[in-house]
Every structure is written in structure tokens, then in C-alpha cells.
Structure 1
Amino acid sequence: MTRTEYPWLLPSAMADPLDQELPGDRGRVRPRRTVRDWVVDIVAFLFAAGIGLLAVQAAEQARTPEAVLLADQLIGAAACCAVWLRRRWPVALAAVLAVVSMLVPIAGGALLVSLFSLAVHRPFRPVAALGALALVCGVASPYLRPEPDLSPLASAVAGVVLVLLATGWGMLVRSRRQLVVALRERAHRAETEAGLRAQQAQRLAREAIAREMHDVLAHRLTLLSVHAGALEFRPDAPPAVVARAAGVIRDSAHEALQDLREIIGVLRAPGEDRDEGERPQPTLATLGALVEEDRRAGMRITLDSAVPDPATVPAATGRTVYRIVQEALTNARKHAPGAEVTVTVGGGPGSGLTVEVRNPAPAGPVTDVPGSGQGLIGLTERATLAGGSLEHGKTPDGGFMVRSWLPWPS
């Protein structure tokens, strides 16, 4: 498994969840405010203005000079209006309001709103830095602008609690939004993975069907080719020979159509494990019928089977042996016509099943057939998927050999 195959495992996605960005974290404002944006902004402005009015009343009770009170009110109103800019410049606004609220308590409500918005829209590091700045300013404010009813220590504790509440609440909202985003990404990733698994399953099914069609139809079509070629080059053959060749062609065409119909029927089946076809799947027990069919077609084949009871061989293993012998006989018919082919099968439970198909060198030159070699590649893949192995190549006498070993559990 690589990170390029699974992009959600990249370092950016494995960072601390508190540092992950959310939509809107970089200060991009929507072109048009939604109804929800207007409601939230109005509530935030009213909250900041309400805290400011309470601070104005406290300043009036403390008999603050009118000039200072007027300046505080103007600065406080500007701070409340600045709340509308918290989405675009949350860091700068929080820093400015933290310093301003230290000298102008009326701006304290705007500071709490800006800290909340900052904690919602920014990762942990800037929130921690500006939160510390706000705490320092909150502790220093009672000593610079003391309140008559509270001691500086009590005012400082109240300011620290309010700053921590606003920041903590904002971080809680951010964590919830991150959870929602993570769940959405996980659901999207699960859908993507399911789609990829479905595509992979379809691809594997198509490859399996293609291999099965090649193994089945190539054998039948070579019989048609051999006997059709004999009729073409022997137009003066006796009627009995012509009738026998025509019968083989008819039977092979019929068998090919039935095999093709069965394979295509797999695509139309509702489930994958559908074995109730019109004819049973070939196994090791039907290997003799395959050899006999090729003998009737004119091949010379010697079958040496050392398996006492072919019915005891697992169906999947027997079917693989059948396909290997079928493809090897097809290749021998194409590349070594007239040569005697020897098929040897042996083995037992626990030791595995061995099959070997060997033919001597052809009597004359053989023309290469387009697509030669693809069947052997398919056989190698089939044997590997079955847990075995397959080797093939020329023999010292110029012939050809295909040998395979397949597991046979005890």
C-alpha cells in the first residue's frame, strides 16, 4: 500500500486535527451573505453592543470624566462595528481588540466575539497566541481602568474566565465542524473505495471470462481449422473421409456454441457462484473424454494417468488440469501437426497434482499463428492463482513440453 494509492494518508491529512483547516479558514468571504450569515452577524453585534452598554453604565457609576466617557463610547461603537469584519481578518481584529479592550472596557464584548470567531476559523496555534495576549490584557485592564465595585483581582479573574469561555466555546464549535467534515470525507472515501473495488471486481471477472473463452474456444476452433483445411487441400477425398470431417466440424461448432453460451450466461447470472449450467464444468474425470475427442479428430495422443480415482481431486484443481491439457493439445495441433502427444498426470493428496504434456519436434516447417503464446501466459496465471506453478519450453530433441504442479490438500 502506497500513499499515492491512498491520498488520505498524505502528511497533510495526518496532521494534528486542531491544525487542520476548514472551509473559510483562510478568510475567503462568500460573494453574498446567506440568511444564516446575517442572523449570526446581527446576534454577534447585539451581544457586543450589550456588553458595551453594561460597561458604559459601570463607567458612569464610577464617575468617569465626560471626555473620557465620550472617547470610550466612540471607540466601543467602532469596536462593535468591527465585529462585522471578523470573518475577513479574524487574527488582526482579535489582536487589535485585545489591546484596545485593555484601555477601553466598552470594547470587551467585541473582543469576546472576535476571540470566539477566531477559535472557530483558525487552527490552534494562532488561537493560543492571541488567547494568551487577551489574558494578559484582561489581567492588566483592572489595574489601568479600575472598577469601583470590584477589586482588581476579582475583575482580573472575571476577565480571564470570560476569555477562556469564549475561546473554549469557539474551539468546541470548530472541533464539531471538523468532525462533520471528517465524517463527510470518510463517507466520500468509502464510496470511492466501493466504486474502485467494483471496477476491480469487474476487471477481474472480465479477465477470468476472457481466459475461459480462450481456453474453451481455441480448442474447438483449431479442430474446425484442421478439418476445414483438410477439405480444402483434399477436394478429391473419399466421401467417407469428407463425411467424417464434416461431422467433426459440425460437432465442434455445436460444442463451441454451447461453451460460448455457457460463458456468456455467467455474465447474465445474478450471483457469482452459479454452477447450475446446462452442462457440468470439466474436471479431471472428463479428461479422458477430451483426449478421445482429439483422437477422433486425427491426433495421436497417449494418456498416462496415475490418479486412481479422478473424482476425488478437488473440482477447481481438476478443472485447471483440464484447461492446461486442453490448451497444450491445441498448441500441439497448431504447431506440431501429426506428432504424437503424451499426456502424463500423477500425484496424490498432500503431495500435489502434476500434469505434463509433451510432443516431439514437428515433421516439417510450421507457420506461426497470430497471437501465439497468449494461451501459455493465461495458463501460467491460472496455475499461479490456483496456488501452483507452470513451466513450458522446448525439449532437447526439438519438441515442446508443458509441465504444471498444482496443490492437492490431504
Structure 2
Amino acid sequence: MFFALLVPDSGDTGPRDRLADGIAIVLALAYGSVMVVLGDAADPGAFLPLPADVAAGVAAAAALLVRRRHPLGVTVALLPLGAISVMATGPILIALFTAAIRLPARVPILLGALNVATAGLYFLLHDRPAADIWVDFAMRGVVTAAALGWGLFTQAYRRLTASLRDQAARLESEQQLRADQARLTERARIAREMHDVLAHRMSLISLHAGALEVRGTVSAEELSIAAGAIRTGAHDALDELRAVVGVARTRPEPPQPGLGDLPELVAGVREAGMSVDFTSVVPADGPPVVLGRTAYRIIQEGLTNAHRHGSGPAASVRVRGAAGHGLRITIINPLGGTGGAAAPRDGLGLIGIAERVALAGGTVRFGPEREEFRLEAELPWPA
């Protein structure tokens, strides 16, 4: 807004503030000059001679340089000039406009009323006024109301925009905190799941090693079998440990479900009243434990989102993959038209899925497509 430039939000230094001072003084002198020409300041009956009137107006305009730091003091100091000088009416209006932006509303309104009242004093001090007193009151009342109204509007607009900026910043901060909390929760959950699996692997290794230690002498075939079991167990434990490095572990939980438990998961969702079209094309031996558990959690969360945010109790789940080709999971649920539900707004469950997929070294994408919400995850499945 152009007039808002007269009173910047910043301090009293800088190019914009100096520009504001220049514009304010130019506008004040321009308005005062017009009033001098149109009014009766040059008449013989004027209270001040024309040169003195102009000098008073110029001095009042110079006082506008400090109007932003002292809006009340400058306005109060300039108001008496409105009773004797026509040229000073311009600076007075700029001072009122500044006061309306910087001060509580009741203060500039009172100052505006005093400015209108000085029109009566000007009429009384003028020897032979050309117009009736009501003309002076009407003219000064209109311009005073315009200055105050625009100033109060600017003040309200600035407060509103500042409030919206603060609210947006607060909401962004809160959303970031929720996202961070979701990531930490998901990492802690993964750590709890991994703990029992790793403990099981290490127990098997310890068991085989202990057997070799106790028996003393073993055949070459038995030694080869035991060594192979130890090597396989250590390799699997290291693979699972890599997925958990850096994730804080809390209390252990019972062993977690895997890909083989998906039919039971889908059956439970169907029993809850949701229609699920489930297709799984995975080799009989299935993926590694870690991969299967990750896939299970992704599908579990995807069905939860479909139940919460879908327009109807329905979803489609596709699981395809093989060793060396990766594992692909696709979950689709309808969103409906204008009357249907919307896509997830907070996205905390989706953040958990993204965190889990990232730790597994995979990729995930999700979002609405043609009135459907589509979630696709691809996980690596080593050969």
C-alpha cells in the first residue's frame, strides 16, 4: 500500500525510512500549498500574513522527520497551528495518519476531533472569512476522517499480517516437532523389533560354538556344518545390525510379525468391516526376516491410513518381488470426490513409513492420484 510507506514497520534508519520521510514532507507541503491557493490565506483578513503562514507550514513539515518516534508529541504540537495556518493543515494530516497507525484508536480519534475543532478557531480569528463556518468544519472533518480511517486500517492490516506470520511460523514449528517425534518413535520401534531377532541370532551362534567347545573332537563333516551355521548366523546378525546402527533401543518386545503374517493381518482388517483386495506374488521361501518385517509394517500402516482417511472401507494391496529383483508394495484406496475424505493431513504415519523404508535402503512415494490415494514402496531384496 502506497500510503503505508509513509510509516514503515522498520526503525528510523535506512533507505526506506528516509524515503518515507521525503514522501511525507512532499505530500504535506503539496496539500498545504493547494489549500493556500484555494483558501483565503492570502486575504487581507487572514490572521497570519501569507509569508508567515507558509513559514509555519514549512516548519510543521520539518517536524514530520520525528513523527514515527514521537507520533503523539508531534501531533499535539502541530494541532494548534491548524487554528492560524492554512499551510500547516497538510503536515497535521500526515501527523494524524501516523498517530492512527502507531497509537491506540481512541487517541488519534480524540486528536482528530481537536483538529476539526480548530476550524472554528480559524474562522473566529479570520477577519472576513470568504465561506461560512460549516464549510470549514465540513472540509476539515472530511480530510481528517480520511486520514484517521486509512491510518487505522493500515494498523489493523499490519497486526493481522503479523499475527498470520506468527501463526504460520508456530504451525510450521509444531509440524516439524511432530515429524521429528514420528521419526524418533519409528526408529525406537524398529530398534525394539530388531533386538529380539539379533538376540536370537547371537544365541544360536553361542549355542553352536559352545557345542564345539564341549565336544572336544568332532568329525570334519560336523565341524563344517557347525562352522557354516555360525557363519550364516553371524552374517544374518550383521545384516540386521546394520539396519539398526544409530537407533536407540528401549525395552525389548516379543518377536515381530513378518511377510508370512500378512494373510492374518488382512483377515483382521476384513473382520473390522474393511474390504481388502490382497494379492501376494512372493516365492515360497520368502524374503529375509528384516525385509519381511519392514514390508509387514508398511502394509499395516498403509491399511490404517486407508481406514482413517479413505472415502470408503476399501483398499487394494499388491506385494510382488523376488531375490535379486527387490520387493514392491502397492496400496491403493479411494478418496472420493468433493464429498469424500481427504488425503492424510498430518502425515505422521507416512513419515514413519518413509523412515522405515529409508533405513531399509528403499524408496517410497505416496499421494493422491485421480481420486485415489496411492502408496508405493520398493525395498531391496539381495540375491
Q: 2:12 matched to 1:29?
A: yes
1:51 counterpart residue number: 31
Instruction: Name the SS for the 2:15 alignment partner.
Output: coil
Instruction: Name the SS for the 2:196 alignment partner.
Output: helix
2:146 counterpart residue number: 165
Distance change (3 Å), C-alpha of 1:109 and 1:59: same
Q: Is the 8 A contact 2:42 2:50 kept in 1?
A: no
1:42 counterpart residue number: 22
2:89 counterpart residue number: 108
Q: Is the 8 A contact 1:116 1:166 kept in 2?
A: yes
1:331-351 Cα shifts (integer Å, max 9, x gaps): xxxxxxxxxxxxxxxxxxxxx
How far residue 313 of structure 1 moved from its aligned partner, in angstroms, is 5.6
% of aligned pairs identical?
A: 33
Q: 2:53 matched to 1:72?
A: yes
1:281 alignment partner, one of 233, 252, 259:
259
Q: Is the 8 A contact 1:121 1:174 kept in 2?
A: yes
1:258, 1:52 → 2: CA distance? 84
What TM-score comes out, normalization by structure 2 length?
0.54
1:148-192 Cα shifts (integer Å, max 9, x gaps): 222112211221111110111122233333344344434434443
What TM-score comes out, normalization by structure 1 length?
0.51
Distance change (3 Å), C-alpha of 1:213 and 1:123: farther
1:382 counterpart residue number: none
1:147, 1:214 → 2: CA distance? 101
Amino acid at match of 1:29: D
Distance change (3 Å), C-alpha of 1:152 and 1:66: closer
Distance change (3 Å), C-alpha of 1:130 and 1:67: closer
Distance change (3 Å), C-alpha of 1:61 and 1:243: closer
Q: Is the 8 A contact 1:59 1:69 kept in 2?
A: no
1:375 counterpart residue number: none
1:1-59 Cα shifts (integer Å, max 9, x gaps): xxxxxxxxxxxxxxxxxxxxx944xxx412x333xx44443332232223333444434
How far residue 102 of structure 1 moved from its aligned partner, in angstroms, is 2.5
How far residue 206 of structure 1 moved from its aligned partner, in angstroms, is 1.6
Instruction: Name the SS for the 1:150 alignment partner.
Output: coil
How far residue 256 of structure 1 moved from its aligned partner, in angstroms, is 2.8
Count of residues in correspondence between the two structures = 253
1:315-343 Cα shifts (integer Å, max 9, x gaps): 9xxxxxx99xxxxxxxxxxxxxxxxxxxx
2:178, 2:9 → 1: CA distance? 30
Amino acid at match of 1:95: V
2:266, 2:173 → 1: CA distance? 44
Show the 5 A alignment for 1:383-398: none
Instruction: Name the SS for the 2:259 alignment partner.
Output: coil
Show the 5 A alignment for 1:287-326: 312=267
1:112-133 Cα shifts (integer Å, max 9, x gaps): 0111122233343433343343
Structure 2 runs not aligned, ≥5 long: 1-7, 248-256, 271-288, 291-383
Instruction: Name the SS for the 2:58 alignment partner.
Output: helix
How far residue 253 of structure 1 moved from its aligned partner, in angstroms, is 2.8
1:255, 1:23 → 2: CA distance? 63
Instruction: Name the SS for the 2:27 alignment partner.
Output: helix
Amino acid at match of 1:44: A
Q: 2:205 matched to 1:224?
A: yes
2:163, 2:183 → 1: CA distance? 30
How far residue 68 of structure 1 moved from its aligned partner, in angstroms, is 4.7
Show the 5 A alignment for 1:261-272: 263=243
How far residue 230 of structure 1 moved from its aligned partner, in angstroms, is 4.3
2:365 counterpart residue number: none
1:312, 1:184 → 2: CA distance? 48
1:280, 1:208 → 2: CA distance? 15
Q: Is the 8 A contact 2:47 2:84 kept in 1?
A: no
How far residue 99 of structure 1 moved from its aligned partner, in angstroms, is 2.4
Distance change (3 Å), C-alpha of 1:208 and 1:141: farther
1:256-296 Cα shifts (integer Å, max 9, x gaps): 345457x579x9xxxxxxxxxxx9535399xxxxxxxxxxx
Q: Is the 8 A contact 1:140 1:156 kept in 2?
A: no
Q: Is the 8 A contact 1:141 1:156 kept in 2?
A: no
